[in-house]
Structure 1
Amino acid sequence: MNLDELVAIDVHTHAEISADGHPSLPPHLLEASEKYFGAQGHRQPTIDEMAAHYRERRMAAVVFTVDAEHATGHPPIANEEVAESCARHPDVLIPFASLDPWRGGAAVRAARRLVAEHGVRGFKFHPSLQGFAPNDRMAYPLYEAIEELGVPALFHTGQTGIGAGVPGGGGIRLRYSDPMLVDDVAVDFPELRIILAHPSFPWQDEALAVATHKPHVHIDLSGWSPKYFPPQLVRYANSLLKDKVLFGSDYPVITPDRWLADFERLDIKPEVRPRILKDNAARLLGLAGPRPVKD
């Protein structure tokens, strides 16, 4: 991956369909998510198609699915398939894996194998969809392994479009995605690199507090058009968190084109824009050097 040729790194994209047509979510939850994002009928691109999409735009993308089989009964897209598909496009795609923490020791063993044998560069958690509180000790052996492996853990935070409008929210509990629960993880695993995904409505201030207090906690900006960002998020991105905020789209429900067009109109300092779009992610993912000296 040639960083000099890239204009941005999107740290939040979804593999929604496997090579044999298996979807990442049960149909009723996928339909609810599409309706929430106003993306009804959008194509579910293959990973090869995702690579072409980002290569055209001179961008790289982190790709993952979500393993929530314990809570949903729906088998996930195989992490191995995601990693192997990304390996065909190392110039633009970066594979993350997702492991259901309810899998216990099997998840720990899989994490080590996925990094060692399949080149996985991080792990995605969706506490509300997976049905667990991030600070549940049940998940701690998995965090311990991820910390030892030296790769990031990305946690969905805030409201989710998955299950929105379905009776009972499809059984999905929003409270599991309170970033303050991830604060406990940051305390108990002080070397674990963490990404709080999304503007964390209704807990935006909590997310900002955690990211400013814990040195290895970052925030990605996916899942929202930048024109809807809370003002305090923009203020912190421009100042205290300028080295810890990351571009993410939530592709395919939000495209990088739409996100970047709205970001262009956001009041972000010129010197901060390249940090958000590429430099911070490159450093966090081990594609570049250490954090720069504070200006």
Structure 2
Amino acid sequence: MNVEELTAIDVHTHAEISKDGHTSLSPELFGASAEYFGSHERPTIEQMAAYYRERRMAAVVFTVDAEHATGHPRIANEEIAESCAAHADVLIPFGSIDPHKGRAGVREARRLVEEYGVRGFKFHPSIQGFDPNDRLAYPLYEAIEELGAIALFHTGQTGIGAGVPGGAGVRLRHSNPMLVDDVAVDFPHMKIILAHPSFPWQDEALAVATHKPSVYIDLSGWSPKYFPPQLVRYANTLLKDKVLFGSDYPVITPDRWLKDFAALDIKPEVRPKILKDNAARLLGLKESAA
């Protein structure tokens, strides 16, 4: 991957369909998500690679393993990693392991990093049905920290389950970023990304990212024109080196996100940090630039 030639690095995209047509969400949850975000295509990873290559961008790709809470099997992490490896000029693989998988999950995390080149792991506490500071997840965090990988946590409200009776069992409280603050204390050398503007806990997310050196924020899942003013203020100042471009593709396209970001009151010297430089440093991609 030639970082110097990239215009941006999108740290938050979803693999929603496997090669054999298996979807990342059950029909019920996908229907609710489509209603919330608007209907969208479910591109294959190969199509995602072509999409980002055309735009001279790189993208982090992952799914969500929430089999314990939903009963719906995930897309295989190995398939995602292998597909990303086939397009290593633009795609960066993350894994996802349900914390309820215990020791088996720990073994899988080690294998994914050591044998498949996975650089991080996506957690969605509300869908996976756990508090980030629950000790059941700590053996998995220990492995992630030891391996030098990244833990990316969904924070704030989610469109998954929105409008379904009872939210399809999805509990929003699991995604309060203050729960991740405990994780940042107990695993001080694990790199953490708080995904999304964390409505209704935006101030909490800003506090955690400001206080804990290992914690970053990605800006995915929202059009920038809806960003809370305090998020924009911190992105321009105290967190200018810790805020990351993320789209949430395919539910939000980078084209739409970047169009609205261009109209946002961000300092000229901060824009390249958010769009590429901060992510390149966090992901360890600078060494790849030639």
TM-score, normalised to structure 1's length? 0.97
How far is 1:62 from its partner? 0.1
Aligned to 1:251: 249
**Unmatched 5+ stretches in structure 2:** none
* Aligned-partner SS, 2:158: coil
* Aligned-partner SS, 1:104: helix
- Counterpart residue type for residue 36 of structure 2: Y
How far is 1:288 from its partner? 1.9
- Counterpart residue type for residue 33 of structure 1: S
1:169 aligns to 2:150 (yes or no): no
Match of 1:152 among 147, 150, 153: 150
How far is 1:24 from its partner? 0.2
**What is the distance in 1 between the residues matched to 2:170 and 2:51?**
32
Aligned to 1:116: 114
Aligned to 2:27: 27
**What is the distance in 2 between the residues matched to 1:141 and 1:285?**
22
* Aligned-partner SS, 2:208: helix
Aligned to 2:136: 138
**What is the distance in 1 between the residues matched to 2:136 and 2:164?**
28
- Counterpart residue type for residue 282 of structure 2: L
1:192 aligns to 2:190 (yes or no): yes
Aligned to 1:94: 92
Aligned to 2:285: 287
Aligned to 1:17: 17
Deviations 1:240-278 (A, max 9, x none): 000000000000000000000000000000000000000
- Counterpart residue type for residue 79 of structure 1: N
**What is the distance in 2 between the residues matched to 1:213 and 1:33?**
33
**What is the distance in 2 between the residues matched to 1:60 and 1:35?**
28
Aligned to 1:210: 208
* Aligned-partner SS, 2:10: strand
1:48 aligns to 2:46 (yes or no): yes
Deviations 1:187-219 (A, max 9, x none): 000001000000000000000000000001000
**What is the distance in 2 between the residues matched to 1:151 and 1:6?**
22
How far is 1:81 from its partner? 0.2
**What is the distance in 2 between the residues matched to 1:9 and 1:103?**
31
Q: Percent identity?
A: 82
How far is 1:34 from its partner? 1.1
Write out the 4+ residue segments of structure 1 that deviate beyond 3 Å after TM superposition.
none
**What is the distance in 2 between the residues matched to 1:107 and 1:9?**
28
**What is the distance in 1 between the residues matched to 2:234 and 2:127?**
28
**What is the distance in 1 between the residues matched to 2:263 and 2:44?**
31
Match of 1:103 among 83, 97, 101: 101
**What is the distance in 1 between the residues matched to 2:34 and 2:192?**
27
* Aligned-partner SS, 1:195: strand
How far is 1:50 from its partner? 0.0
Match of 1:76 among 74, 77, 84: 74
* Aligned-partner SS, 1:107: helix
**What is the distance in 2 between the residues matched to 1:85 and 1:92?**
11
**What is the distance in 2 between the residues matched to 1:57 and 1:144?**
36
**What is the distance in 2 between the residues matched to 1:121 and 1:190?**
18
How far is 1:151 from its partner? 1.1
**Unmatched 5+ stretches in structure 1:** 290-295
How far is 1:137 from its partner? 0.3
1:8 aligns to 2:8 (yes or no): yes
Match of 1:268 among 266, 269, 275: 266
**What is the distance in 1 between the residues matched to 2:149 and 2:212?**
17
